[in-house]
Amino acid sequence: MTHTRSEFRAGTLAGLPFILVIAPFGAVFGVVATEAGLDVAQVMGFSFLVIAGAAQFVALQMMVENAPVLIVLAASLAVNLRMAMYSAALAPHLGRLSFARRALVAYVLVDQTFAAASLRYEQTPPRTATQKMAFFLGVSAPVVPVWYVATWAGAVLGSAVPPGLPIDFAVPITFLALIVPMLRSAAHVVAALVSIIGVLVFAFMPYNTGLLVAALLAMIAGAETERRMAAR
């Protein structure tokens, strides 16, 4: 029990710095969502059920453009496909937990919790699955509630935000802070570059469906690069 509590505390400390980007990111979504016509209850339902900032922004933009429901769902799924890879990476560490515990982990699985947990699991001696889960939930302890509160604040106070205030800076900063440390191999770099180029090349496609094409090409390029490196 002592080790589990210490792991939870360590996770909480690791998650605290993420507040600096989560808070403005959530506030931006709240503001944008209300400006798009959603009421506070709808905005909060969005953040409570999804907890995926990037996918929420994509879905919201496509909803504003009156895109078909299937296109909205497909684009959101494409943005969140990385969660499947996160789950596969965490399975060796947390796969032995009960279904209820794995469901809880899946609910709070976001970029920040995965990044902090995967780094912890690589750098520390072997831990039990329960201890690893404690660290994971510790990271989510400051991250997830702040996301809720920031979204609510943005939705409620959005109309009071001066139009010229550049609060949208939080979106690119958040992704830069998360992505750059993850570019650990040539495969990661290739996938990132292909996704950037793909988004620009296919920007003409309707309803942002170019994002789906770019994501698919990036995954193929990254996998092929990794396969060739392994063959060498």
What is the per-residue pLDDT across 22-56, written as a single tens digit (0 to 9) for each? 888 888 888 888 888 888 999 999 899 888 877 88
Whether pTM > 0.85 for this model: the answer is no
Task: Supply 118's token pair.
Answer: 């995967």
Task: Supply 197's token pair.
Answer: 């180029």
Q: For residue 137, what pLDDT band results from cuts at 50, 70 and 90?
A: very high
26 closest CA partner among 168, 136, 122: 168
Q: What local confidence, expressed as pLDDT, does residue 178 receive? A: 57
Q: Dihedral of CA 196/88/58/107: which sign?
A: negative
Q: Give, in degrees to the nearest 5, the angle at Cα 83 between 54 and 74.
A: 60
N-term to C-term CA, the chain: 46
Domain ranges for the chain:
2-169, 183-232
CB atoms within 10 A of CB 82: 16
d(CA 154, CA 1): 39
Q: For residue 166, what pLDDT band results from cuts at 50, 70 and 90?
A: low
Q: What local confidence, expressed as pLDDT, does residue 159 receive? A: 59
d(CA 142, CA 3): 20
Q: What local confidence, expressed as pLDDT, does residue 149 receive? A: 95
Q: What local confidence, expressed as pLDDT, does residue 218 receive? A: 86
Bigger pLDDT: 116 vs 3: 116
